[in-house]
């Protein structure tokens, strides 16, 4: 009889009988292994007195004040932080008693992220990861350019010759998507290029190569988080109306700051076609309000309570009027109910909408390709710095 793969009988097998194995322990490499490991790990932490965050299930916290400790886990990589080293050492001892762990000391490198700490703050970059991409693609010695994407360049899924081997393009986009964790300057370009992974064409690959040339000029660029920053939440929301040539849908862009530190940003094509710029901006406001709510919940897990309302800046007066005033209900009957989430937050006093001139709107970086002067001006306001560049 044919035996299942991995089955080794210890006794004689009855002819015609079908036998299977039941695994009492997950084997490394199986799809179930990581899930079983996380279930065991989280159960052990909860038994030790930790609470699992409802906003991010990989975050565990315990205690408060000076005895507060937080643990963040990704598969089998763990970060532990807290104000008291004694509490952290106690947690390490517990983890060593339950699992086989290797203590790498002070946080310097985590999943491709390079972290530099000082009394003034933290600097986060992916320099080594960027250089590895350039080396793998043969662009380590290329001529650098100063913009991630040519201004006013229009891309379509129908223009140009199809690539013979689309896997090269898809692999590059996957690598670049991970790079956007610390590079808000390339977020819009990567978002745009990721829309063509199903049927990539020659013009799309040319833009990827142009982006690699830009990365060559700024491989060590990253985010600076100042220790002296305030705890005021500020957000900027913007839309590029109907910019997609294939679907005529708008692109939402937003960024959220905690004090002067950029903590969240996104560039995404809207799921439906908007009938006006006010509607498109209103949908973007709802997405930004959702992100602000999530960040507030994460801060509460760290016992950081922001008493003042979050400030949300928008350059569209019509969208602000719709969010502030229910008399405009007749104009919004066709908009999905979930978009009115922003109105509920404004009425509850959690978010305050403020107008801003378009040239000062930081979220403009995530909706379109910009010219060099505007790009560099916005990056400087976002605390995006290149410590390896000329001073």
Transcribe 250-270 into DSSP letters.
-EEEEEEEETTEEEEEEEEE-
- 153 and 187 both lie in a single domain: yes
Tell whether 391 is covered by a domain. Answer: no
Mean pLDDT (the chain, rounded): 86
Domain presence at residue 19: no
Is there a single domain that holds both residue 210 and residue 252?
no
389 has a pLDDT exceeding 70: no
- Report which secondary-structure segment, H or E, holds 212: helix 202-217
CATH of the domain at 377: 3.30.420.10
Lowest mean pLDDT among 20-24, 169-173, 249-253, 382-386: 20-24
Q: Is residue 222 part of a domain?
A: no
- Examine the domain organization and report whether 50 and 82 are in the same domain: yes
Domain count, the chain: 3
In a domain, 5, yes or no: no
Pair (62, 169) in one structural domain: no
Residues sharing a CB contact under 8 Å with residue 205, sequence separation 6 or more, in sequence order = 163, 168, 169
| 298 and 183 within one domain | no
Q: Clarify whether residues 197 and 236 are in a common domain.
A: no
- Containing structural domain, residue 90: 31-124
Average the pLDDT over 267-277 and give the result.
86
Verify that 118 and 156 share a domain, yes or no: no
Domain membership of residue 11 (yes or no) is no
**d(Cα 388, Cα 391) in Å, to the nearest integer?**
9
**Judgement on whether residues 296 and 356 belong to the same structural domain of the protein:** yes
Q: Is residue 90 situated within a structural domain?
A: yes
Query: Distance between CA 354 and CA 344 in Å, rounded?
Result: 16
Identify whether residues 36 and 52 lie together within a single domain: yes
**Band of residue 288 on the pLDDT scale cut at 50, 70, 90:** very high
Residue 268 lies in a domain: yes
* 63-94 pLDDT per residue, tens: 888 899 999 998 778 999 998 899 999 999 99
Which carries the bigger pLDDT value, residue 323 or residue 61? 61
**For residue 39, is it within any domain?**
yes
* pTM reported for the whole predicted model: 0.85
**89 and 201 part of one domain:** no
Residues 184, 323 share a domain: no
């Amino acid at each position: 009889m044919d035996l299942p793969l991995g089955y080794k009988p210890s006794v004689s097998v009855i002819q015609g009988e079908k036998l299977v194995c039941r695994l009492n322990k997950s084997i490394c490499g199986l799809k179930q292994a990581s899930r079983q490991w996380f279930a065991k790990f989280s159960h052990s932490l909860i038994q030790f007195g930790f609470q699992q965050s409802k906003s991010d299930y990989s975050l565990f916290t315990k205690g408060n004040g000076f005895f507060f400790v937080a643990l963040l886990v990704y598969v089998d990589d763990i970060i532990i932080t807290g104000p008291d080293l004694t509490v952290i050492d106690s947690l390490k001892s517990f983890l060593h008693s339950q699992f086989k762990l290797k203590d790498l000391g002070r946080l310097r490198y985590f999943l491709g992220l390079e972290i530099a700490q000082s009394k003034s703050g933290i600097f986060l970059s992916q320099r080594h990861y960027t250089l590895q991409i350039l080396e793998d693609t043969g662009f380590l010695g290329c001529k650098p350019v100063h913009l991630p994407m040519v201004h006013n360049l229009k891309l379509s899924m129908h223009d140009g010759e199809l690539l013979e081997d689309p896997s090269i393009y898809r692999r590059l986009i996957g690598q670049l998507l991970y790079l956007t964790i610390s590079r808000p300057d390339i977020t819009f370009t990567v978002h745009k290029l990721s829309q063509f992974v199903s049927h990539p064409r020659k013009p799309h690959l040319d833009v990827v190569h142009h982006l690699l040339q830009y990365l060559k000029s700024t491989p060590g660029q990253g985010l600076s988080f100042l220790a002296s920053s305030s705890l005021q939440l500020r957000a900027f929301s913007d839309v590029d109306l109907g910019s997609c040539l294939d679907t005529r849908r708008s692109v939402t862009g937003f960024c959220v700051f905690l004090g002067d530190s950029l903590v969240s940003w996104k560039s995404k094509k809207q799921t439906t076609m908007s009938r006006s710029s006010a509607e498109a901006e209103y949908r973007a406001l709802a997405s930004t309000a959702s992100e602000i709510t999530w960040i507030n919940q994460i801060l509460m897990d760290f016992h950081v309570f922001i008493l003042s309302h979050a400030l949300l800046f928008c350059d569209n007066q019509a969208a602000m009027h719709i969010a502030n005033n229910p008399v405009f209900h007749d104009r919004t009957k066709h908009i999905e109910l979930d978009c009115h989430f922003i109105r509920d937050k404004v009425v509850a006093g959690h978010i305050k909408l403020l107008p801003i001139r378009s040239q000062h709107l930081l979220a403009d970086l995530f909706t379109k390709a910009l010219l060099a002067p505007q790009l560099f001006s916005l990056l400087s306001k976002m605390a995006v710095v290149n410590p390896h560049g000329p001073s």
